Chain A
Amino acid sequence: MSAEHSAVEEREKHHKHEGPKKHIIAFIFSILLTIIAFAMVAAGEINTTFIYIFLVLMAAIQVFVQMGFWMHMKDRGHAFPIIGILMGVFVVFTIVIMAEYWAWW
């Protein structure tokens, strides 16, 4: 039995085991993060800077969860997608910081 053949078998085995469970957990996690963010705002009367940082943090965690599980980025063989999206994210941060802190001050 060749190494390649057993690799294929391994992959197929992995696929049989991949049920909806992980995705439902990711979904529940996303919903929870969303509820926490909404509740923080609905509660009101909290320090504005703190709540901004908190909200962005909640969004960042949720994006990691969704991209990792739902867009399969945690799976193997996703080096190019990760590089591609990171290039986009890098440009985005540059643009947002530029607009917020340099162009308007």
Chain B
Amino acid sequence: MSAHSHVDGKLPHEPEKATLEGRNKVLGFWLFLGAETVLFGTLFSAFLALRHQVGDGNPSSQELFELSTTAWATFILLTSSLTSVFAIQAMHTNKVKSMIIWLVVTVLLGLGFLALEVVEFATYVDEGHKFSTSAFSSSFYTLVGFHGAHVLFGVLWISILIAQIFKKGLTVVTAPKIYVAGIYWHFIDVVWVFIFTVVYLMGKVG
């Protein structure tokens, strides 16, 4: 085994916080999330300021948005947040196999969310809602697309982590990575809560 395994061959209860490096990683990641919050905040403010600038003859948010699609996307992403919590809990009880299974489920749900978003965007483009159609469409695609890009990044990141777990096992080095990826995934879910509220539900209201 590697030099990083615990003295008695057993991982500590919170392996992500067992080393100073792990604790620093978690703290640094929270600072990064503070910056991410600001990033999404600017995109939200641009969208809020421009969402009524539809232009002549272009589809409005009421005409475009389908509540059922958004509801499904929300349900999928919320469920994936829950499955990533299960993965972290499995990690805390040192059940590597079930941790991997939950991570795989999380990735699959993330892919399902992305597939829904791709179909949704394609439908909008067919209805004449392209990136450069109006200020509303540009700010919409920038905000929602940026969130989608974050989901895609999370899917790739967690997939690579799964591969690393297979290679190196769960140690005090790999555990902080899994933990931080879990926090990232929840953050994406929290951003989506604001997107479905501000973009889709408020857009449907008018």
B201 CB contact (under 8 Å) in A38, A69, A80: A38
Say whether A23 contacts B27, CB under 8 Å.
no
Q: Looking at the assembled complex, report how far the CB atom of B10 sits from the nearest CB atom of chain A, in whole angstroms.
A: 12
**Bound CA–CA A70/B92 (angstroms):** 14
Q: Are B13 and A15 in contact (CB under 8 A)?
A: yes
- Chain A interfacial positions (CB closer than 8 Å to B): 11-12, 15, 18-20, 23-24, 27, 30-31, 34, 37-38, 40-42, 48, 51-52, 55-56, 58-59, 62-63, 66-67, 69-72, 80-81, 84-85, 87-89, 91-93, 95-96, 98-100, 103-104
Known: A52-B202, A70-B81, A96-B48. 7 other contacts (CB 8 A): A23-B89, A27-B81, A63-B190, A63-B193, A81-B27, A88-B33, A99-B48
User: Bound state CA distance, A42 and B193, in angstroms?
Assistant: 17
**B187, A42: Cβ atoms under 8 Å?**
no
Report the bound CA distance from A40 to B202 in whole Å: 11
Decide: A34 and B78 in contact? CB cutoff 8 A: yes
| Closest B residue, CB atoms, query A31 | B78
Residues of B within 8 A of A55 (CB): 197, 201-202, 205
Q: Known contacts A92-B44, A100-B48; is A70 also within 8 Å of B85 by CB? A: yes
Tell me, rounded to whole Å, the shortest Cβ–Cβ distance linking B146 to chain A.
Answer: 15
Contact across chains for A12 and B13 when beta carbons are under 8 A apart: yes
* 12 A-B pairs whose Cβ atoms sit less than 8 Å apart in the complex: A23-B89, A27-B82, A34-B74, A34-B75, A41-B201, A48-B205, A66-B189, A70-B82, A70-B85, A84-B30, A92-B44, A99-B45
Which residues in A have their C-beta under 8 angstroms from that of B26? 81
Please tell me if the beta carbons of B46 and A58 are within 8 angstroms of each other in the complex: no
The main secondary structure of chain A at its interface with chain B is helix
Q: Does residue B9 face the partner (Cβ distance < 8 Å to A)?
A: no
Residue of B nearest to A78 (CB): B30
Residues in chain B within 8 A of chain A (CB atoms): 13-14, 26-27, 30-31, 33-38, 40-42, 44-46, 48-49, 67, 70-71, 74-75, 78-79, 81-82, 85-86, 89, 92, 183, 186-187, 189-190, 193-194, 196-198, 201-202, 204-206
Minimum Cβ distance to chain B for residue A54 (Å)? 10
Q: Do A66 and B41 touch (CB < 8 A)?
A: no
A95 touches B41 (CB 8 A): yes
Bound form: Cα–Cα A2–B97 in Å: 36
A27 and B86 alpha carbons, distance in the complex (Å): 12
CA distance A41 to B189 in the complex (A): 21
Instruction: Evaluate contact between A98 and B45: CB separation under 8 angstroms.
Output: yes
A31, A34, A62, A100: the one within 8 Å of B45 (CB): A100
B49 near A59 with CB under 8 A, answer: no
Which residues on the A side are within 8 Å of B33 (C-beta)? 84-85, 88
Collect the chain B residues with CB atoms within 8 Å of residue A58's CB. Answer: 197
Given known pairs A81-B27, A99-B45, the reply for A11 and B13 (CB within 8 Å) is yes
With A71-B183, A84-B30, A88-B34 given, is the CB distance from A66 to B81 under 8 Å?
Answer: yes
